[in-house]
Amino acid sequence: MRSLIDILDLSITELDELMNTAIDIEQHPERYRSACAGKKLATLFFEPSTRTRLSFEAAMYELGGNVLTMSGESSSTTKGESIADTAKVISCYADIIAIRHPKEGSALVAAKNARIPIINAGDGGHCHPTQTLADLLTIRREKGRFEFLTVGLCGDLKYGRTVHSLIEALSRYEGIRFVLISPKELRLPEYVKTEIIEKNGLSFSEVSSLEDALPELDLLYMTRIQRERFDSLETYERLKDSYILTPEKLTLAREDCCILHPLPRVNEISVAVDDDPRACYFKQVENGKRMRMALILKLLREAEKPEKEKLGEGFLLEGRHCLNPRCISHTEQELPSLFKKTAGGVCRCVWCESAVG
Ligand code: NCD
């Protein structure tokens, strides 16, 4: 069953096709008004969400389909039900599932157990591929290309799942240069630097000053400091206002710099920046809904084709378990600790992708 767990599950050609469909939906909404008639999307959100959940639901309604919705607090998972069982059960009611869960690897567990396509709407601090779909369409429309861009990513690069997925996606294009702007405590995880950026022959620099980086950027991707992922509230309080983009700071940026943010924003972009023509974060929201429409259409069509791939294959390592305390393998009932060897020779947990020492 074809699912979207990681942005690399989609080829560059497929991404282009999804973007073309999203633009066609915008230009000819009437052609899509009953494209998903009789189909049901289940949205399972075990973490707070405004735009991701509502944009999935709006997307399905605009395709003429229906929505079944459930939030973490009201579900049987509060009684101890596993993700695997939840996915098997919902497969009897719906045609496709969008799931958000605080544990890393949770969407993959759902995909291994469901009989219908799964869309990862955010698994802890790991991935958020559908936000990347919104980001990519916005970049294509604002910059007209993905190649040879200097991309600044600013804020919480450690826990920011939108950043991890966007870097994965952009690393497949030629001439991308990343400027990673964060306090040292919130730097990008090592595996993203070595196995994604460097493996693709791209370069990056790590800096702590937004002002120093601004003049060279084609894109600036601001992010929220992810309070809910911190072990210590004190560290969060110390780091929360590390970066605040203001109109004064923006005078340092290029005339054609494109400012993105997955939202919600807390303090990291002052409201006065919203009127600047370089601010594109509300356009991202609009693009996100149409990309989700295109994705739902694609996955529902592919669900009708015979199955090819096997998700989450890996091997057991005698007595070894994933070391990431936020990994789904520590809480999901009887989920085996499975590992895979990456191209760089590193052994990683199949579910959350952290290295096993
Ligand atoms: C992001 C997320 O949930 O990771 N929000 C979103 O889906 N647009 C970013 C965030 O919460 O900071």
| Catalytic-residue membership of 2 | no
| Catalytic-residue membership of 79 | yes
Q: How far is the CA of 261 from the centre of ligand 1 (A)?
A: 9
Q: Fold match between 7-128+286-302 and 130-285?
A: yes
CA atoms within 13 Å, Cβ hemisphere of 229: 25
Distance CA 179, CA 327 (A): 28
- Cβ proximity of 184 and 150 under 8 Å: no
User: Residue 307: left (phi > 0), alpha (psi -120 to 50), or beta?
Assistant: beta
Could you tell me the residue ranges of all domains in the chain? Answer: 7-128+286-302, 130-285
Is the beta carbon of 288 within 6 A of some atom in ligand 1? no
Is the beta carbon of 263 within 6 A of some atom in ligand 1? yes
Task: Give the other-Cβ count within 10 Å of 344's Cβ.
Answer: 11
* Residue pointed to by tokens 């730097």: 187
- Find the catalytic residue in 21, 52, 86, 130: 52
Domain 7-128+286-302 CATH assignment equals 3.30.9.30: no
Is 0.95 topped by the overall pTM?
no
pLDDT at residue 345, rounded to an integer:
80
Tell me the pLDDT of the chain (357 aa) as tens digits: 899 999 999 999 999 999 999 999 999 999 999 999 999 999 999 998 888 999 999 999 999 999 999 876 767 777 788 999 999 999 999 999 999 999 999 999 999 999 999 999 999 999 999 999 999 999 999 999 999 999 999 999 999 999 999 999 999 999 999 999 999 999 999 999 999 999 999 999 999 999 999 999 999 999 999 999 999 999 999 999 999 999 999 999 999 999 999 999 999 999 999 999 999 999 999 999 999 999 999 999 999 876 655 556 788 887 889 999 999 999 999 898 999 888 778 889 999 999 886
Domain 130-285 CATH assignment equals 3.30.413.10: no
| Catalytic-residue membership of 100 | yes
pLDDT at residue 314, rounded to an integer:
83
